[in-house]
Structure 1
Amino acid sequence: MNFNPNIEIDIPAIAAKVPSVIFQLSAIESDYQLDYISDRDFGSTFEAFVDRIDPRDADRFRWSLKKAVDRAIDWQFEGRIESDSKWIQISAELTEIHQNKATFCGIIVDITKHKQIELDLRKSREKLIDSLSSQVAKLQQNQDLLKNIIDHTNASIFVKEYRNTNGSYILLNREFVQRFNFDRERDLGKTDLDLFDAETAKSFQTADRAALAAGVPIQIEELEPRGGEIRTSIVVKFPLFDDLGAFGIGGIATDITDLKRAKQVLEQANEELEHHVTERTAELVQRNQELETTLLRLNQTQTQLIQSEKMSGLGQLVAGIAHEINNPVNFIHGNLSYANTYTQDLIGLIRLYQKHYPSPAAEIQHTIDEIDLTFLINDIDSVFASMRTGTTRIQSIVQSLRSFSRLDEADLKTVDLHEGIEQTLTLLQHRIKSQKITVTKHYDTVAPIQCYAGQLNQVWMNLITNAIEALEGVEHRTIEIHTQQHTDQVEVRIRDTGTGITSNVRSRIFDPFFTTKPVGKGTGMGLAISYQTIVEQHQGAIDCYEVSPQGTEFVIKLPTFS
């Protein structure tokens, strides 16, 4: 069913004049909604409305409504109301179908007497006709009101018929007539070709046909020749439909010529202002960038000097401590073999005594039992083995400390890459064990490299320490270290299964003073110095990547020398 979207019906006003109950109902498939009803006794919702229907007629009530929705036809129903034992007649028109939504507007008429007394049928029909006539009169009143509104708006409004003519005007409001100095009675029925020059008429009709083809409203700018000048209007054109389909075009045009001129003047002034602002801003930005660059370099240089001084002092301190520890440890470790030999000699002597004097004096036997001589003899080897393990461990730590005491060395040296990594792991062993981290090493056979050993060791310390910190709070804690020899470089990959690094953080991770740690927990220089050490001092490369399903991998590439 087709309808006219331009006619607006004031339902509450009509309801006040009509003795029947007026309602509007919307349906989306089997979902119904009571949009309006003039009598609240029927309820304010569709469910409440259904509850008023007698159970004997409820199924037929729903079936009739579903039939109307499915077939897109008007809705008719007669039935009883449960509480009042009355008969009602529902007559509803399908006024709109939009996508899958159907809208019905109708009335509910009490036909109790009609059902009870067949003789009153004609009278009831006459009352119904009178009611409909009243509605028609109200509709006519609304149409007159709409025409009055159309004629008093500042926008020009028009309707053209295209089904049987080439766009004849069938409606022109007062503003349209005045704009073009037309005569409404004379010019109704004419086309654009009769009223405008050929170029303007062709432009107007091309836009009309575009709206007809689209089937929906379109908005365009049109140039209108008026009073010896060309004016600009913003025009909304929309297709009009009846039972047979689209029959014409409606349009609403608003003159925006003065607005566009004012906008052009304002835009020109803004462009000039923006040009001056841009020039001045560029000067300020350039000066600001120069100041920021200078300040950044000063801060970076200061931090690096402080860091270098710290590392130098730390190297001297560590070297001294390592030296002081190393001497007594070497003394102990060197004498362990002698002590073990002497002890074995004494144990052999004791066993010789036991062989020749199997029955010692009571006092000697008492002492043997008290000190558990057999246990002592059996356990002494384990004691010496543990002591050797301990001194060996101390010597390994001292050696690692000595390596890190070379932080202030200024000369390139040929070193074993794996040795520096192993010394770093030795110094961090207590943190690795306390967090129950599994360290997996995949070492390739790599050539020695020429490097600043102390500074490169600091890089390994920074990267492995970051990996340890990233594993805090993670269930599966693993650090993998891979080395691989390429033609002219060595590649080192340090991967962890930690919380990972987001892409926006990863893009800034090597910037000086950038840190994600809380205030006081980090300087933001560890990775910046590592980057400088690898890239600038060793002509290498360092990159950071995200690892699936979670984690981070740092890839370091260092040139090799024969």
Structure 2
Amino acid sequence: MIHLSTLFRVSQAIARTIEINELLQVLSSHVLEYSGAEKCALLLLQDGEWELRALADSRGVQLTTLPLAYSQDVPSKLIQYAETHLNPIAIENLCTDLPVIGNYLKTHRPQSLLCLPLLNQETLLGILYLEHRSAQGLFTDDRLMVLDCLANQAAIALDHARLYQTVQRNESRLRAVYESNNDAIMLLSEKCFVDCNSATLAIFQCPAKSEFCGKHPSQISPEYQPNGRLSSEAATDHIVTALTRGYDRFEWQHCRWDGSEFIAEVQLCRMEIDDQAILQAIVRDISDRKAVEAAIRQKSTELEQALLQLQKTQLQLVQIEKMSVLGNLVAGVAHEINNPIGCIVGNVSVMQNYVIDLMETLDLYQANFPEPGITIEQQLDAIDLDYLRQDVPDVMQAIKDSGDRIAAISQSLRTFSRTDGAEKQLFNVCDGLDSTVLILRHRLKANEQRPKIEVVTHYDQLPEINCFPGQLNQVFMNILANAIDAIDELSEGRSFQELAQSPHQITISTRAIESGIQITIADDGPGMPPEVQRRIFDYMFTTKEVGKGTGLGLAIAHQIVVETHGGTIDLQSQVGEGSTFTLTLPC
């Protein structure tokens, strides 16, 4: 009979044991000792299958993990029955009506046996099997009561041991993850680091965990962060933020133990350990990433510059080709005009002298032969000689004036089509403006949709400037052509009579300024909204329909004025009021 004091000691021994294998050994040895049995077997359920985990006899306790199906030391049929019915089974001399007698019992024929399910809150955790091969009447009611009490204690202890084993296993896994992580992982209180993994020591080149723990983050940082804040203040702010909000993420400049610095990405996550708020800090060295990002940014900048240079080159090629074609055409026309006009203008003076000679000769005939005869008098009346004397000089002068006008036009064409050399040359921009207006005169004339567009000029006396005349003429051409396009667009949908009441005009003004000259070209077209004004000089930007605009004209103008000539080109525009381009050019 087990005394209460003995039962208490056994219960305490079981309750004190938390590690599963130790518990199995303590439980099986104590039950064997105080039950009077020769053999004690302890079986546990593992993933739904029974395993023999401990076997105790006079030789001691043997721990194992043998599946029930392969065990020769316990009656499997009895175990399966006990699993189903969950009641203690005590049998003397194999006398029973229960279907539990299998090969093991028939072979070994124990005189006393006991099968005790280990239940905790009606959950089956294990089974204790006890037997004695020769002694009968071993498991009396009193002993069964004591063993049942021990079984309950054992079930509770097994449940706790399993929970402890699970916790230990999870902790081991977490610790393995914690230690094997390539990032520095630390536990941080409000004041200092309290733990860290191996990667932390490697990243910071710290010789020992004891040297790292106890330090405040600012102690492993430079005095100031790249943004100029004190590390001590910034670190405290981040800690407070993470503790308050539960999370914080930021970049941080750290110091290694040798004094070298590196940039890191830091994540702070609030967690509870033993009812105390603590931060898990994950620090990742992103120096390589930052170097790659810097290299990418550098490469992007180089590519952008190369693209910009390519666009500039393209603009230059377009400009050169356009001006070359236009210049050759205009120069060819001017050349073809020059020869006949030179002949006309040159011979008009000769013809005027011939006419004077003829008139003087007629006067002599009339003086010497006052009566020329009926036939001659009739002819003189028919041709109205007096009218011819007055009109022929006027006609000859008109021919001469027209010839001079055509010669002036030819000169304007040559001015517009001037070929630029490698060096700048002196040029009067007013001549360039006039020649450009002349080239565009056909577009300024009235048509079926609108009246004539008036061009009003206000020219101050300007000095000649050092420039590339052909390129400046291209600028004037692009701005004036756009102004005409804008006015034509505004005229759409309006009647000719309505437009005739308030004809459109383009105003060109020039004046001398301290740094050079200023040219203003203003139209009374539709104007431009701010979003268009911001991009008006961008490469390939156009508001015109496909096929009507290339987006190159004003980009070329900007490049010529600003980059080639060191001047400025500005736009002022109001929707509904027109646009004004102001150019400044150094002398």
Give the TM bin, normalised by the shorter chain. Answer: 0.3 to 0.5
Q: TM-score, normalised by structure 2?
A: 0.44
TM-score, normalization: structure 1?
A: 0.46
Task: Answer with 1 or 2: which has the greater Rg.
Answer: 2
